[in-house]
Amino acid sequence: DQQVKQNSPSLSVQEGRISILNCDYTNSMFDYFLWYKKYPAEGPTFLISISSIKDKNEDGRFTVFLNKSAKHLSLHIVPSQPGDSAVYFCAASASGTYKYIFGTGTRLKVLA
Amino acid sequence: IAGITQAPTSQILAAGRRMTLRCTQDMRHNAMYWYRQDLGLGLRLIHYSNTAGTTGKGEVPDGYSVSRANTDDFPLTLASAVPSQTSVYFCASSESGGVTDTQYFGPGTRLTVL
């Protein structure tokens, strides 16, 4: 049973436009959410996170939005750059569990 | 600073053989983790350790064992490898193991079990 779902396996966006990556979760106990980026032949690297007490967190070109009632979060990248081409994983965790549950990933391709 | 190193980078293994994947971190992080990444399944936690001397089971622990004799090293052992353990394995660490701690990942080990 996939508790964290990324329903779009891939996404292509033109350079300079907005990229929107989506993630849904089913466990209402999750209260901390993260996005990781992964390039080929490398380990995932942390990108941005959000606590359930917030509905938005921004870091430069990256913004994460959280809609708790819909159990949905999204990552916005504006403007998208070719170097953003990677696989993006969302992850969720619940207080006291010491564990992340990862989604299946979305491969983003930013076209020059 | 190297961060997290994993060895080997890749390995082809005959089914039934024993294999240990090595992971070392130089950040003096208390918590360490082992994940496997499979196409269509994302990253799944195998085992974790919140501090030296303690370990815990993740989502998919069967067929794997770990030990944490010291802070820096967290080896993952497949006692008798099976083809379904073909995967890319990532080791990670975080400062204290809290869910708000950033996890830092190693470069991965690609394992093929024939």
pLDDT tens digits, residue range A48-65?
A: 999 999 999 999 999 999
pLDDT tens digits, residue range B20-45?
A: 999 999 999 999 999 999 988 889 99
Q: Quick check: A93 contacting B, CB < 8 Å?
A: yes
User: Identity (one letter) of the amino acid at B84?
Assistant: S
CA A23 to chain centre: 6
Tokens at B35, concatenated: 């994940």
The kind and range of the H/E element at A72 are strand A72-77
Q: Exposed, middle or buried: residue B14 (CB in 10 Å: 0-12, 13-18, 19+)?
A: exposed
Record: contact B99-A101, CB cut-off 8 A: no
Integer Cα distance of B44 and B89 in angstroms: 10
User: Identity (one letter) of the amino acid at A92?
Assistant: A
| DSSP bridge partners of B49 | B32
How far off is chain A from B88, nearest CA to CA, in Å?
Answer: 10
Cβ neighbours of A43 in B, within 8 Å: 4, 90, 92, 105-108
Q: How far is CA A64 from CA A21, A35, A72, B51, in A?
A: 9, 8, 11, 31
Give the residue from A54, A93, A100, A106 with the most B CB atoms within 10 Å of its CB, the best one to mutate. A100
* Widest distance between CA atoms in chain B: 39
Is pLDDT of A104 > 80? yes
Tokens at B38, concatenated: 């499979």
- Mean pLDDT (whole number) for A68-78: 97
pLDDT tens digits, residue range B55-74?
A: 999 999 999 999 999 999 99
- Mean pLDDT (whole number) for B83-111: 93
% of chain B beyond a pLDDT of 70? 98
DSSP strand pairing (A19-25 vs A4-5): antiparallel
Record: contact B43-A44, CB cut-off 8 A: yes
How far off is chain A from B107, nearest CA to CA, in Å?
Answer: 4
